[in-house]
Amino acid sequence: MNRSDTKKSASIAVHPELRRILLANLTHESLSTIIEHQLFDQPCPPLADDILCLLPYWEQQACEGNGVLAALIQYLTEHAPRFMKSEKLIQANLLRIRILASTPGIFSFPPFEIQEHLNQFLQTSDILADLPELEVVSFSPDEITPLASDLKRFHLTPHSRRYFQNLFYPERREAILSVLAHIAKVYPLISTCRQAYALMLSLDNPDIWGKHPFCLRLVANRFWEYHASGHGS
């Protein structure tokens, strides 16, 4: 396609509902159409309105392994960064959906069951931090040492909590969510799968990571591993 063709395709008038229709029936072809005609730049209806309406459907599709969603969200992240940063609720949901969509496998349970009874499935879910799958998430001795006394008591003081929160920077949060998505889709015990998905939902807000029992147990496990090997204080 030459430059004049590109301008022509970009200027084609489309029905206001076309973008939502294409996003609701997401395939490689519909994603290509959205990109080709620059439908993300269409001002009306607002992009946020379309996405908010589609989030529950996309969640279901991600749990069923629709990998095109991951490509769509990656495209949004790269080409509409201002939108992503300004819509914090949407951003958190899209991160989880992207990770679920890009993780091989499908859910063996209905996700709405967990969403409707989240607190029930979160009970004792912190024990998932003990799974070998989470051992790929590392914290250096230098990171953990300032928390030694708190971790021995398994209780964070208000002074330590801010430091603890800062351990969960974006890349580390994404790594942990990716492991949880893998567990939710392929772990042989369905009760553990449900708890892994419940944890993903409960970790939507980045500010909650510093207070979450699962996160405390995860870091405490690494502390005791270092302590047992003679590197802890």
Q: Which residues contact 69 (CB under 8 A, 6 or more apart)?
A: 26, 58, 61, 62, 97, 98, 101
Find all residues with CB under 8 Å of 180, minimum gap 6, and list them. Answer: 128, 196, 197, 199, 200
Which structural domain range is residue 18 located in? 12-102
Among 102, 137, 172, the domain boundary falls at: 102
- pLDDT > 90? residue 113: yes
Q: What pLDDT shows up at residue 55?
A: 92
164 plus 231 within the same structural domain: yes
| CA nearest neighbour of 187 among 176, 199, 196 | 196
Q: What is the pLDDT of residue 1?
A: 45
Contact in structure between 201 and 114 (CB atoms under 8 Å)? yes
Alpha-carbon gap, residue 213 to 88, rounded angstroms = 23
Quickly tell me which residue has 């949901």 as its tokens. Answer: 93
120 and 74 together in one domain: no
Give pLDDT, residue 50. Answer: 84
Give CA–CA dist 160/153, Å, rounded. Answer: 13
Indicate the DSSP class of residue 108: S
Instruction: Quote the distance between the C-alpha of residue 31 and its chain's center.
Output: 21
pLDDT band at 5 (very low <50, low <70, confident <90, very high): very low
Domain end, chosen from 64, 80, 102, is at 102
DSSP state of 233: -
114 vs 40 pLDDT, higher one = 114
Asked which of 79, 102, 125 is the last residue of a domain, the reply is 102
Q: Tell me the pTM.
A: 0.87
Q: Which tens digits make up the pLDDT trace of 184-233?
A: 999 999 999 999 999 999 999 889 999 999 999 999 999 999 888 766 54
pLDDT at 85: 67
Tell whether 3 is covered by a domain.
no
Residue 123: what pLDDT?
95
pLDDT tens readout for residues 70-102: 999 988 888 776 766 667 778 889 999 999 999
Distance CA 18, CA 39 (A): 9
